[in-house]
Structure 1
Amino acid sequence: MSWTLDVDRGRQTWRYTEDKDHKPTDVDVHLLNLKAPGTTCPKGCNMTPAKSPQEAITKAFQYFSAVQTEDGHWAGDYGGPMFLLPGLVITCYVTGYSLPEAHCREIIRYMLNRQNPKDGGWGLHIEAHSDIFGTALQYVSLRILGLPAAHPGVTRARDFLRANGGAVGIPSWGKFWLAVLNVYSWDGLNPIPIEFWLVPYAFPICPGRWWCHCRMVYLPMSYLYARRTTAAETPLIRELRQELYVTDYSTINWPAQKNSINKLDMYAPHSTLLKGINAALGVYEGVHSKWLRDKAIDFTFDHIRYEDEQTKYIDIGPVNKTLNMLCVWDREGQSPNFFKHADRLQDYLWLANDGMKMQGYNGSQLWDTAFTIQAFVETGIAGQFPDTMRLANHYLDISQVPDNSPNMNHYFRHISKGAWPFSTVDHGWPISDCTAEGVKAALSLRSLPFHIAPISIDRVAEGINVILSLQNKDGGWASYENKRGPNWLEKFNPSEVFQNIMIDYSYVECSAACIQAMCAFRSQAPNHPRIKEVNGSIERGVRFIKSIQRDNGSWLGSWGICFTYGTWFGVEGLVAAGEPLTSPHIVKACKFLLSKQRDDGGWGESFMSNVTKEYVHNDQSQIVNTGWALLTLMAAKYPQREPIERGIKFLISRQYPNGDFPQESIIGVFNFNCMISYSNYKNIFPLWALARYCNIYLQKANL
C-alpha cells in the first residue's frame, strides 16, 4: 500500500494506490484514515477522516472539483474490455504504422498487469475468467510489441492456450482479427456478407435497421472480409502460426473451424436459423457475382468514409475505429485520411497505474460531467465553488451537438441537433439518456445563486425534441436510435460472446432518464408549445417502466451493475413523473433493495448479475452500488431512517481523508457479458447520496 502524488494540470492531490489484486480489509480502511508517514499534505488538504455527512460532502466536493479539467469535464478511466487494444496493435502492425515506444512499453505493462495470475490467460474483460478470445489476442499483441516467446508471461499464456485446445476455437471476432494478421485462414470464418448492405431499408434484414454499434462494426468487417485484407507474411507471423495451435498450422482443417467455439468463450450460441443461413452463405461465397461484390465494396467504403468524416475520425467506438483505419489503408495506403485516423488513436488511449489501455469509447466525458453537475447542485454548497460550476456549464455548453448530420436517411442516421453525446461533440453520435442527463444538468444549473450564463431554454428544447423523436412504440427509449427492427433479428447474432446486439432495445435506464428530463423541462417551461406532447410522452414512458418491472420489485440494468442500477433509474423515473410514493411499484422496489442490504450497511452486487440476469452478491459492499440504493430509497421517501443511516455510515467509512473514494469492482456493462470501468462513479454517487441525505433530513444527522 502506498500514497502517491498525482499532478494533473498543476493541481496536486494525494491518492492511495493498491495492488491490482488487493482486496481492502477493515485494517486497510483504518490505515486509510491515517496520513502516510513521510508525506506532506497539499495546501488546504485536511488529512483527517470526515466525522459527519456534511464534512464528507465538503471533502468530496473539494477533492473532485480539484481534478476538474481545464475545459470543465471530469476525465476518467473507461477501460475494462480486453479485446480492444489487440485490434489497435494488429491494425498498426498490418498497416506499418508505428506506435511511440513509450506507448508500446505501457501497453505491454497493462497486458501483463491484467494477466490472470492463476492460469496465465486473459478474459473478455479485466475481471472475467480466462478464455481463448482474450488470451489469444493478448498473446499475439505482446509478441507484435516485441516480447519473445520465452518471456514468462508469454510462456504462461501459450501454456493456457494449448491446455485448452489452442486458438482454433476462438470466437468469430477473434477469428476475424487473427485472419487479418495472417495467422488464421479466412476459410475458417463464417461469411460476413457484404451484399447485405445493398438490401433496401424496407426489408427487416437491412443493416440500417441494426443497432448502430453492431452495424458500424460489421460494416468495415464485411469490407475487409470481402477484400480478404491480410498482413504480409513475416518471420513473426510464421512463428505465431506455430505457437497458437496444438497441431501444425499447415494441417488444420480450416472450414471445420467455422462453428468451433471454445466452451470457455461461448455465451450466445448461434441460432438454428443462423446456422442454416451461414451454410447457405458459404455456398454463395463460391459463386458470388464479382460485379455485385464490387458494388457492395464501393457502397460500404462510402459509408465508412461518412462515419469517419462525421465523427472527425474518432468513429462510434474503438472496434470500428481500428477497423475503419484498416479499411482506409486497404483502399488508399498511408494516405492523408489514414493519418487523420492515426492522429485520433490518442482519443482512445488512457494511461493509468496499471499501464496504457484502450477505452470502450473516446471517454465518458459528457456522461460523467452531467451526473457530477447534478450531484454538485444537490449538495447545496455549489455556490461556494463558482469557478467549478462555470467550467462544468462550459463543457455542457460546448458538448451539445449543433446540427444534424447531412443526408441522414441515406446513411441510416437519426437527428442529432440538440442532443448530447456520451463523450465529446467531435464524436457527435446522439444518445437518448446522455441527452436526457444533459438536459437535467443544464436545467439544474439554472438554480445556482450566481451568474453562470446558463444554456437557454430554446437549446434545452432542442434536446427535448431529440428525446421525443426517440420514443419507441412500446413507450420506452432505446440508446442511440429508435428500435428499427423486429426482435427475431437477434437470431442473426453471430458474435457468440455478446447478447442483444442486433437491434436497439428499450431500456429502463434510457426510459427513466428521458422521463426525468421531460419532467424537469415542463417544470421550468410550463407554457412551452410542446408541453402537451411532453405530457403524453411521459405517460407512455411510465407505463413502459411499470410493464418491465420484475415480480420481485427490481428492474434489470443493462448499462450498469445491475439490478441496483436498473432499480435506481426505475424509481427515479416514476417519482419524477408523480407516481404516488405508496404505489406498489415503488414499495416493491424499496423492499427488493432492502432485502439486499448487507450487515455493514452497504450494498454490493456482482457483475455476474448481468451475465446470469439474476441477483448475485459481490464479495463485499461497493460504494457505487450503495450510492444507487440510497438514492433510490430517498427518492421514494422510504419512511424508515435506520437502513438509510447505515448506508450513509458505510459511505463515510470508505471515504479517504482527502475526500476521494476507493476504486472497487468494475461497475459498468454492455451487452450483458462485457464489463467496463467508470472510474468517476466512485466520486459521483457516494457524494450524491450524502447530499440527498442531508437535504432530506435537514442536515440534522447525528452519526
Structure 2
Amino acid sequence: MTMSAGGVPHANGPVVAGDAGVTFAFSASGPEEEAARDAVVRAANHLLARQDAEGWWKGRFTTDVSYDAHDLFLRHVLGVPDERLAKASARWIRSQQSADGSWPLVFEGEGHLGTTVQAYAALRLAGDGPDEEHMLRCAAWVRARGGVAAAQLTARVWLAMLGCWSWDDLPEVPPEIIALPKWAPLNIYSFSSVMRVALVAISIISAHRPVRPAPFAIDELSAPPGTSAVPPAPSGGREKLFWRLNATVRVCSKGIPRPVREAAENACVRWLLERQEEDGSWGACTPMTTWVVLALHLHGYPPDHPVLKAAWGFLEDCGAWPEDGVRALHTVHSPVWDTCLSATALLDAGLAPGHPALVKAADWLLTRQADRPGDWAARRPRLSPGGWAFQFHNRTYPDNDDTSEVALALHRVNHPDPTRVDDALGRAVRWCLGMQSRNGGWAAFDVDNTSTLPARVPFFDFGEFCTDPPTADITAHVVEMLAALGRARDPRTRRAVRWLLGQQEANGAWYGRWGVNYVYGTGSVLPALVAAGVPRGHAAVRRAVAWLTSVQNADGGWGESWESYADPARAGRGPSTPSQTAWALLGLLAAGERDSTVVRDGVRWLTERQTEDGTWDEPQFTGTLVPRAVAAHYGYYGHVFPLMALGRYVRHTGDVSVGRQRNEATEPDR
C-alpha cells in the first residue's frame, strides 16, 4: 500500500500527488516525513508554475546599491541624464538605507563605506539635498569612518569623474598593459576574468581622466580634522615597491609618444569589441558593461554607434521596476544557473525524468552550451569548447560551476533525443577535465590563475580575489558531476578528491567561495566526496558531520553571517535561512545522517516555514561574488535548495548520482 502526500492510502501503484505528478513508492515513516512530502509537492507545483514558455527559470539576482549608483554616474559623465530614471533609482537607493545612515553589502548587514559614499553621491545627482535627514545621517556615518579618503578604490574612481576627487591620487593603469605577453607578470590574463575586462576598460579611462563636474561638492563627507587625507599605502615592502612603480608609471605616461598611446588604446578597444556578447553586454554583467561603455565613449565612439546602442539596450533591459516609480538594477541575469538547479530540484522531488517541463528545460539548456573559445583558451588553446555560462548570452566566459550543474541535471532527464544529450555531456566532460588546475582543483573561469601579483598592485582593492584559484565548492561540483557520469575512478577525479580532503579546515568545515560560507562549502563537498566513493565513515566525513551538527541553531535550522568572510569565528553562525538550512541538510543526507535528530529538526524547520503558496521567504544574501566585497541575493536560492533537500529526504536518497549511466568520455584535448 502507498500513501499520498495528504495521507490518503491507495492500494494500487504509485501515488500521483498534486499537479506536478510527484510519486511516492512507500508510506511515510512519520509526521515529519508526511509534512515533508506535502512541502515537496507544493514546492514542486510552485516551481513548475514559474517556468518560462521557452523552458528556463530565472529569479531576481541582486547585489548592493553601488551598481545603481554607477548607472547614474555613467549617464552624468556621458551627458545623457534621465530625470525620470534618476528619481526612480533614487527611490530604490533610499529604500535600502540602514537606520544608521549607511548602506550595507547584504540585507541587514553592517554598513560598507564605499557603497555608502557612492549611494550618497548618486542621491545628490538625483536631487537629494545635503540637509535632508537621511543625507545628514549618511554624512555623519561616513565622516566617523574616515571620510571619502578611506573609501574603496571604485568609489574614488567615480568621484574623480564627478570632479570630487583627484585623478592624481588614484592608481595609473596604462593601456600599454594590453601588450604584455601571456607569460609576463601582470599581463591581463594574470587577473580573473571579471577583473580583466574592467582592467582593460579602466586603462582607457585612466588614460583620458574624464571629468564632468557634478553640480555640487561633497565636502560634508570629508574626514574630521586630524585624520589622514589619503588612505595609507600598504606597509609591506613589495606593496610599497608597487606604489612607487605606479608613481613612476604616471610620470612616464606623460612622455609616451602619442602614436604609441593611440596604438595601445586601439589594441584595448579591439580586445573589448571581440568580447561583446550577442545581447550587447560584456560578460552579460552590468558593472563590466558600464566600464566598457564609458571607455568606448572616451575613445571616440558616437552614441549612435551600433556597439554602444546594443550596450545601452542591455543596460536598459537590466533595469527592473519592482513597483511604480522605483527602478532597481539587475547586476546580471541568472537563467542557466536557475534552470539547472530548478531541474535538479524537481528531479529530487520525484518529478518524472521525462516530464515535459524537464524536457523543455533540457532543450533550452542545450542551446546555451558554448560553441567557441573564450578567454579560457589563453591557457588552453587546444581545448575544445563545451562549457555553460551563467547568463542568457555569455559565450566568452563559461564556468566550471554552471557546466557541472547543467551536466548533473541533463544526465538525469529522459530526453527523446539521448544522442544529442550524450554529445553535449561528452563535450562538457572533456572541457571540465581540460580546465583542471595543476593542484587537482577547479576554479570558476580559468586554469592555474593563481599569481599573487595582481593582489598586490593598486589597480583594484579586492586583494586575493583579483585572481581565480581553485576552490572547494566548485571542485566539489565538478567531482560530483564526473562521478555521476561514470568518472569516479578517473585519476583526475581521484586527484581532485585528494585535493578536497586537503582543503578541509581544522574544525571539519570547507570554505565556501561562491556561497556564504562554510555551510555552503561543507554542504557542497560532502555530496561530492560520497558520490566519488569516499566512505561515509571516513574521518573527513565524520568531522564535517560533527561540525554541521555543532553549528545547528536552537530552532533546528542553519545560518551563517556574511561577516564570516572577515571573521572566521563567525563560521556557521547566524540566523537560520532556508538555503543555508538546505545546504547543511544536503551534506548530512549525503553523509548518511537521514534518520538523525539533527536532520529531522532541520526538515521540520523547513516544513514549518513554507509559505502558503509553496515557497520560502529569504531576504538574506547567501550568494557571494567577491568575499568581503560583493554579495548576491539569488531569488531562487530560498526555493530550489529546500526543495532539493526535502526531496532527497522523502525519497531516501542523499546524492544526485541516479540517472542513466554514461560511457567514459574521450580524453580531453589540451
Short-chain TM bin: 0.7 to 0.9
- 2:599 maps to which residue? 644
Partner SS state of residue 357, structure 1: strand
**1:321 pairs with 2:289:** yes
Residue 182 of structure 1: how far off its partner (Å):
2.0
Return the match for 2:624 from 655, 669, 689: 669
Deviation by residue 1:448-480 (Cα, 9 ceiling, x = unmatched): 7xx577842111111111101110000000110
What are the superposed Cα offsets for residues 393-436 of structure 1, whole Å, 9 maximum, x if unpaired? 233122212222599549x9896722110122345411011111
Percent identity at matched positions?
Answer: 22
Q: CA deviation at 1:539?
A: 0.9
Asked if the contact 1:121/1:157 (under 8 Å) is kept, the reply is yes
- Read off the aligned partner of 1:500 and give its amino acid letter: E
Change (3 A) 1:342 1:56: same
Shift of 1:609: 1.5
Q: 2:231 aligns with which of 259, 269, 277?
A: 259
TM-aligned CA deviation for residue 247 of structure 1: 8.9
Q: Residue in 2 aligned with 1:465?
A: 430
Retained in 2: the 8 A contact 1:445–1:454? Answer: no
1:104 aligns with 2:86: yes
Q: What secondary structure is seen at the aligned counterpart in 2 of 1:696?
A: coil
CA gap 1:685/1:470 in 2 versus in 1, 3 angstroms: same
Q: 1:651 to 1:639 in 2, by over 3 A?
A: closer
SS at match of 2:281: coil
| Alignment equivalent of 2:547, drawn from 558, 574, 592 | 592
Counterpart position of 2:590: 635
CA contact (8 A) 1:310 1:405 kept: no
How far residue 280 of structure 1 moved from its aligned partner, in angstroms, is 2.6
SS in 2 for 1:501: helix
* Secondary structure class of the residue paired with 1:445: coil
The Cα shift of 1:128 comes to: 3.5
Select the residue among 496, 507, 530 that pairs with 2:471: 507
Question: What amino acid does structure 2 have at the position aligned with 1:187?
Answer: D
Distance 2:222 2:562 in 1: 32
Which amino acid in structure 1 is aligned with residue 438 of structure 2?
A: K
Shift of 1:511: 0.6
Per-residue CA deviations over 1:39-86 (Å, capped at 9, x if unaligned) read xxxx999xxx99611111110011111122232222212112232122
* Structure 1 residue 342 displacement after superposition: 0.6
1:507-546 to structure 2, matched below 5 A, reads 507-522=471-486, 535-546=490-501
Residue 314 of structure 2 corresponds to which residue in structure 1?
344
Residues 99 and 469 of structure 1: is their aligned pair in 2 closer, same or farther, counting only changes over 3 Å? Answer: farther
Residue 217 of structure 2 aligns with which residue?
240
Shift in Å, 1:272: 3.6
Question: Per the alignment, do residues 90 and 454 of structure 1 end up closer, same or farther by CA in structure 2, a change over 3 Å counting?
Answer: farther
* Aligned residues of 1:210 and 1:504 also touching (Cα < 8 A): yes
Q: CA deviation at 1:126?
A: 4.4
Change (3 A) 1:549 1:618: closer
Cα distance in 2, alignment partners of residues 623 and 309 from structure 1: 35
Q: Provide the C-alpha distance between the structure 1 equivalents of 2:638 and 2:375, rounded to a whole number of angstroms.
A: 39
CA distance, structure 1, for counterparts of residue 585 and residue 235 of structure 2: 40
Structure 1: give runs of 5+ residues left out of the alignment: 1-42, 262-268, 523-530, 699-703
Q: CA contact under 8 A between 1:120 and 1:160: conserved in structure 2?
A: yes
State the Cα distance separating 1:566 from its structure 2 match: 0.3
In the TM superposition, residue 193 of structure 1 has moved relative to its aligned partner by 3.3
**Deviation (angstroms), 1:670:** 2.7
1:78 alignment counterpart? 61
5 Å-filtered alignment, 1:118-267, equals 119-231=100-212, 233=213, 237-245=214-222, 259-260=231-232
One-letter code of the match for 1:69?
A: D
| Pairwise CA distance, 1:202 | 1.6
Q: How far did 1:349 drift?
A: 2.9
Q: Which residue of 2 aligns with 1:433?
A: 401
User: Do the aligned residues in 2 keep the contact of 1:170 with 1:260 (CA within 8 Å)?
Assistant: no
SS at match of 2:61: coil
Change (3 A) 1:639 1:70: closer
Alpha-carbon displacement from aligned partner over 1:326-367 (angstroms, at most 9, x marks no partner): 01111213132221111110343334469533333x222111
Count of aligned pairs: 619
1:480 match: 445
Alpha-carbon distance change, 452 to 142 in structure 1, aligned in 2, over 3 angstroms = farther
Please say if residues 284 and 333 of structure 2, whose CA atoms lie closer than 8 Å, have aligned partners that are also in contact. Answer: no
The 8 Å contact of residues 512 and 522 in structure 2, kept in 1 or not, is answered as yes
Counterpart code for 2:328: K
- 8 Å CA contact 2:514–2:623 kept in 1: the answer is yes
Q: 2:267 is matched with which residue?
A: 299
How far did residue 181 of structure 1 move? 1.9
Deviation at 1:271, TM superposition (A): 4.5
What is the rounded CA distance, in whole Å, between the counterparts of 1:342 and 1:471 in structure 2? 36
Report if the CA contact (8 A) 1:559-1:670 is conserved: yes
> What's the TM-score once normalised by structure 1's chain length?
0.81
Could you say which residue in structure 2 is the equivalent of 1:21? none
Pick one of 340, 365, 388 that aligns with 1:420. 388
Shift of 1:163: 4.4
Residue of structure 1 equivalent to 2:636: 680
CA distance in 1, matches of 2:577, 2:343: 22
Deviation for aligned residue 1:115: 0.7
Q: Which amino acid aligns with 2:292?
A: N
Q: Displacement of 1:689 after TM fit?
A: 0.8
1:416 to 1:129, Cα distance in 2 relative to 1, 3 A: farther
Specify the SS of the correspondent of 2:559: strand
CA contact (8 A) 2:284 2:393 kept: no
What displacement does 1:507 show? 0.5
Q: Is the 8 A contact 1:50 1:56 kept in 2?
A: no
User: Structure 1 pair 414/111, CA: closer, same or farther in 2 (3 Å)?
Assistant: farther
Q: Does the CA contact (< 8 Å) of 1:558 and 1:672 recur in 2?
A: yes
Give the distance between the partners of 1:51 and 1:658, measured in 2 at CA.
18
CA displacement at 1:371 relative to structure 2: 1.2
- Residue 335 of structure 1, aligned match among 289, 304, 307: 304
Question: Who is 1:35 aligned against?
Answer: none
- For 1:688 and 1:145, how far apart are their aligned partners in 2? 44
Contact 1:176 1:189 in 2 (8 A): yes
- Match for 1:478: what amino acid? A
Alignment of 1:42-57 (within 5 A): 52-57=35-40
Deviation by residue 1:297-316 (Cα, 9 ceiling, x = unmatched)? 22222222222257732435
> In the superposition, relative to structure 1, how do residues 494 and 394 fare at CA in structure 2: closer, same or farther (>3 Å)?
same
**Structure 1: how far apart are the matches of 2:151 and 2:381?**
33
Specify the alignment match of 1:397 in structure 2.
366
CA deviation after TM superposition for structure 1 residue 166, in Å: 3.4
| Residues 175, 188 of structure 1: 8 Å contact kept | no
Residues 422 and 67 of structure 1: is their aligned pair in 2 closer, same or farther, counting only changes over 3 Å? same
**Where do residues 21-100 of structure 1 align in structure 2 (5 Å cutoff)?**
52-99=35-82
| 1:381 match | 351
After TM superposition, the structure 1 stretch with the greater mean CA deviation from structure 2, 137-146 or 653-662, is: 137-146
- On the 8 A contact 1:552/1:588 being kept in 2, the answer is yes
Pick closer, same or farther for the CA change 1:293–1:152 going to 2, 3 Å: same
Give the drift of 1:270: 6.7
- The residue type equivalent to 1:67 in the other structure is R
What amino acid does structure 2 have at the position aligned with 1:295?
A: A
Report SS of the residue matched to 1:632: helix
Q: Distance in 2 between matches of 1:515 and 1:50?
A: 30
Is 1:287 matched up with 2:238? no
Change (3 A) 1:421 1:113: same
Residue type of the alignment partner of 2:256: K
Amino acid at match of 1:290: I
Give, as a single letter, the amino acid of the residue that structure 2 aligns with 1:281: N
Q: Give the RMSD, CA atoms, in angstroms.
A: 3.1
